[in-house]
């Protein structure tokens, strides 16, 4: 039996992604086969498809992902769906379970079926979320959780500013920061102020008319999801023990962050986000309580995957771009 998958064999624009048929995989003894109900196209897919990497990674990244063409030809980091089949030694999941999952290193979620290790980043879908919403939990949610909680040591009562607040990760950062009892300022265009307020932001700054680094306010945490708030620009806007979380950081941010980590004052934190089962369960509980609800920019049929890529390429999406399977 074959399945539909979105394949790209060369780097380029959305037109390099084609839907083709490939053999349906079979789960090994400790694996789960998921029939995909929904998946997302996000900035990771854009970067890999277009071979656009953060400053300083242009020579390193192709060695990992492929120099002349992609090593892994099916994109997609997250999905939701229904368990189709389980391996002989799988006990935690059964056929028919509604689940969501992430495979940020293996990719491959832009397909009708996806294999995930039963011990991997897979969890039961929160019953109060649709499959479309559940498909968008992981990418923004785990990034926000990694930077704010694990590395940023976020604490109740702190002041947090989120730069690039209206995208998938920015909206997740707002909601996660509010869960930890902070006051959140969102930086985005005026047309997105209602959106960030819905996510829980206490204040909003229109970056087209105001520069938050010049208003005299300081923050315990500044989260940069857009790559427009480098250390040189925002360090004066950090409190004495403030942290700049450079989610869209450069190679040089990672190096500088290592030096600053040894100081007792302001810090720069950058690097790839991490995810594990514990994170998934934490996010699940936040979804169940309504404290974290993925916000969707658009929902399209899987056949419109090139259109979804074009939407992400604009850099103007408001939340997650979701693809559904009939």
Contact 99, 122 (CB under 8 A): yes
pLDDT digits (tens, 9 = 90+) for 216-262: 999 999 999 999 999 999 999 999 999 999 998 766 676 766 766 66
pLDDT digits (tens, 9 = 90+) for 123-166: 999 999 999 999 999 999 999 999 999 999 999 999 999 999 99
Average pLDDT, integer, range 49-66: 81
* pLDDT of 322 strictly over 80: yes
Helix crossing, 277-289 with 138-145: angle to 10°? 110
The fraction of the chain above a pLDDT of 70, given in percent, is 95
Number of H helices, E strands in the chain: 10, 15
pLDDT digits (tens, 9 = 90+) for 294-312: 999 999 999 999 999 999 9
C-alpha triplet 244, 121, 315: angle, nearest 5°: 45
Which tokens go with 291? 């404290």
3-state SS, residue 310: helix
Fold entry, domain 140-270? Rossmann fold (3.40.50)
Tell me the C-alpha distance between 281 and 92, whole Å. 14
Across the chain, which distance is largest between two alpha carbons, in Å?
A: 63
* Alpha helix ranges (H) inside the chain: 43-50, 61-65, 131-134, 138-145, 168-179, 193-199, 231-234, 251-260, 277-289, 305-313
Residue 83, H or E segment? strand 78-86
Q: Indicate the domain borders of the chain.
A: 2-137+294-324, 140-270
Tell me the C-alpha distance between 218 and 287, whole Å. 31
Asked whether the whole model's pTM tops 0.85, one would answer yes
Fold entry, domain 2-137+294-324? Quinone Oxidoreductase; Chain A, domain 1 (3.90.180)
What DSSP state is assigned to residue 109?
A: -
DSSP string covering 188-253: E-GGGHHHHHHHT-SEEEETTT--GGGSS--EEEEEESSS---HHHHGGGEEEEEEEEETT--HHH
């Amino acid at each position: 039996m074959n399945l539909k998958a979105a394949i790209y064999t060369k780097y380029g624009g959305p037109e390099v992604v084609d839907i083709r048929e490939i053999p349906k995989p079979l789960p090994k003894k400790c694996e789960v086969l998921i029939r995909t109900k929904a998946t997302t196209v996000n900035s990771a897919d854009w970067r890999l498809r277009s071979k656009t990497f953060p400053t300083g990674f242009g020579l390193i990244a192709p060695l990992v992902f492929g120099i002349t063409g992609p090593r892994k030809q099916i994109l997609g980091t997250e999905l939701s769906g229904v368990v189709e089949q389980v391996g002989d030694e799988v006990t935690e999941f059964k056929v028919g379970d509604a689940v969501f999952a992430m495979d940020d290193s293996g990719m491959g979620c832009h397909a009708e079926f996806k294999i995930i290790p039963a011990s991997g980043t897979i969890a039961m879908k929160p019953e109060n979320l649709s499959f479309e919403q559940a498909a968008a939990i992981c990418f923004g949610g785990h990034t926000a959780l990694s930077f704010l909680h694990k590395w940023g040591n976020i604490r109740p009562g702190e002041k947090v500013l989120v730069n690039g607040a209206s995208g998938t990760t920015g909206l997740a950062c707002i909601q996660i920061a509010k869960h930890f009892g902070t006051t959140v300022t969102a930086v985005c265009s005026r047309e997105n102020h209602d959106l960030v307020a819905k996510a829980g932001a206490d204040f909003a700054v229109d970056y087209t008319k105001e520069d938050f680094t010049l208003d005299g306010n300081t923050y315990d945490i500044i989260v940069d999801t857009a790559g427009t708030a480098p250390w040189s620009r925002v360090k004066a806007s950090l409190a004495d023990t403030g942290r700049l979380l450079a989610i869209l950081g450069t190679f040089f941010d990672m190096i500088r962050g290592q030096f600053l980590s040894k100081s007792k004052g302001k810090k720069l934190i950058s690097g790839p986000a991490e995810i594990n089962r514990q994170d998934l369960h934490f996010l699940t509980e936040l979804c169940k309580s309504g404290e974290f609800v993925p916000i969707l920019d658009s929902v399209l049929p899987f056949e419109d995957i090139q259109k979804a890529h074009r939407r992400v390429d604009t850099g103007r999406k408001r939340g997650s771009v979701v693809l559904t399977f009939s």
